[in-house]
Structure 1
Amino acid sequence: MTDDPALAIRTDIVRLGHRLCDLGLAPGSSGNISARLADGRIIMTPTNSRLGDLDVERLSVLAPDGGRIAGDPPSKEEFLHRAVYDARPGAHAIVHLHATHSAAVSCMDGLDPSDCLPPLTAYHVMKVGRLPLIPYHRPGDPALADQIGSMASANAAILLANHGPIVAGKSLAEAANAIEELEETAKLFLLLRGTPTRPLNATQIEELHRVFGAPGGAQ
């Protein structure tokens, strides 16, 4: 194992899982993490695994087509990860959580399906960008892959109705930072319900994109 070129990525996934669990963002055995290597292999958290108890040796190693090469069986949502990777060639990491506040938003009626959260902070605009909504599908429903794939090409972050967010990034750090910021914005959104708010306007958003670049975007 010590000469495995993917060891650093495996270790980073385990560390990230522990951190997300410590932050309270991955209750029970919910959530999954993956990283895509330069050769197309995908390293993923196993099915029914608790993110705070991951083992480097037991992480799933998948071929680009999803076939298991090594490790435990992958999360039953591995097809979602592959759909996002197919749609986003520049993505090398994906984090999917059932974190409390973003999952709560995913259960709300009357959301704007093209963008579920208002641009309350510059950091949400910079790290998350738009957050479109995909209608409810049961966990593991293969029909979800087509919708994810069609939406992911233009959006790095997507909210699954009555489920939770899935976020892609160029690295594990980028995907993790984005989904943590998404969860914080969801928390603010819920805390401020019924209170007049002042979201960033189009000019302020355009300035952020001009200075810092737009997150997500077409692949």
Structure 2
Amino acid sequence: MSPAEIRAREAIADAGRMLADRGLAHGTAGNISIRLDDGLLVTPTNSALGSLDPSRIAKIDFEGVHLGGDPPSKEGFMHIASYARRVQDAAVVHLHCAHSVAVSCLDGLDPQAPIPPITAYYAMKVGGLTLLPYFRPGDPALADAVAAVDPARHAILLANHGPIVSGKSLDAAVGAIEELEETARIFLLLGGRAVRALTPDQLADLAAAFPS
């Protein structure tokens, strides 16, 4: 096992513990992965993110073949689809955090903007968010749906399920999904009242000032 793989395993365990400590991961819900040169590391099926053993994290190739560690998450294919769509990204985080899941259950959302750009940091860290229709957990058809999302977008909300966010690093993916969850909480606090979202000019100004 290479030093890079050992560091990646430890980083996944650290991130899982931090997300659990912050109340963003509960039970055995959610999964994390990091892309390697020869495949990806993904949290094992039925594992609690707050108590991961780095040595037991699953390793799979880019076709989903299990190479080592415990059996991978049944949603490993969703991570593979994310990396195929966003070739520049190195990590994916999928959670069932409460406020994002609550938003994903609302009826009548705009699939291309289920949460409007109500704060600058949401626009900067999350950007565009795509809402996908419901698929049962582990449904292979979800991979095709994820793969078809605009590659300019790194954040997806799965209806009645939760968010999946990729990033150029694990820290970036974690930071973005935390910002998504906080904005979902604010969105719910607004309770359906009229929202003064950032204008296209304001969004363009942010993009120019803080290029990704």
- TM-score range for the pair, normalised by the shorter chain length: over 0.9
Aligned to 2:96: 98
Aligned to 2:204: 206
How far did residue 44 of structure 1 move? 0.7
Quote the Cα distance in structure 1 between the aligned partners of 2:177 and 2:190.
Answer: 20
Aligned to 1:120: 118
1:137-194, CA deviations, whole angstroms, 9 ceiling, x for partnerless residues?
A: 1111111111100105231000000000000000000000000000000000000114
How far did residue 40 of structure 1 move? 3.5
1:15-68, CA deviations, whole angstroms, 9 ceiling, x for partnerless residues?
A: 00000001111111000000001x142011000000001001100011222111
SS in 1 for 2:79: helix
Quote the Cα distance in structure 1 between the aligned partners of 2:109 and 2:80.
Answer: 27
User: Which residue, 52, 56, 59 being the options, matches 2:57?
Assistant: 59
Deviant stretches of 4+, over 6 Å: none
Alpha carbons of structure 1 residues 91 and 40: separation in structure 2 relative to 1, 3 Å: farther
How far did residue 90 of structure 1 move? 0.4
How far did residue 7 of structure 1 move? 0.8
Give the residue type in structure 1 aligned to 2:169: S
Q: Is the 8 A contact 1:128 1:182 kept in 2?
A: yes
How far did residue 196 of structure 1 move? 4.0
How far did residue 4 of structure 1 move? 3.9
| Residue 149 (1) aligns with residue 147 (2) | yes
| Residue 20 (1) aligns with residue 19 (2) | yes
Q: Is the 8 A contact 1:101 1:183 kept in 2?
A: yes
User: Which residue, 69, 72, 78 being the options, matches 2:67?
Assistant: 69
Q: TM-score, normalised by structure 1?
A: 0.93
Q: Is the 8 A contact 1:119 1:199 kept in 2?
A: yes
User: Which residue, 162, 169, 189 being the options, matches 1:171?
Assistant: 169
**Percent identical residues:** 54
Alpha carbons of structure 1 residues 23 and 185: separation in structure 2 relative to 1, 3 Å: same
Q: Is the 8 A contact 1:88 1:152 kept in 2?
A: no
Query: What's the Cα RMSD here?
Result: 1.2
How far did residue 5 of structure 1 move? 3.0
Quote the Cα distance in structure 2 between the aligned partners of 1:212 and 1:40.
Answer: 33
Quote the Cα distance in structure 2 between the aligned partners of 1:78 and 1:152.
Answer: 20
Quote the Cα distance in structure 2 between the aligned partners of 1:111 and 1:135.
Answer: 11
User: Which residue, 170, 189, 192 being the options, matches 2:190?
Assistant: 192
Quote the Cα distance in structure 2 between the aligned partners of 1:118 and 1:40.
Answer: 38
Structure 2 gaps of 5+ residues are none
| Residue 161 (1) aligns with residue 155 (2) | no
Q: Is the 8 A contact 1:152 1:158 kept in 2?
A: no
User: Which residue, 131, 134, 137 being the options, matches 1:133?
Assistant: 131
Q: How many residues align?
A: 212
Q: TM-score, normalised by structure 2?
A: 0.97
Q: Is the 8 A contact 1:76 1:140 kept in 2?
A: yes
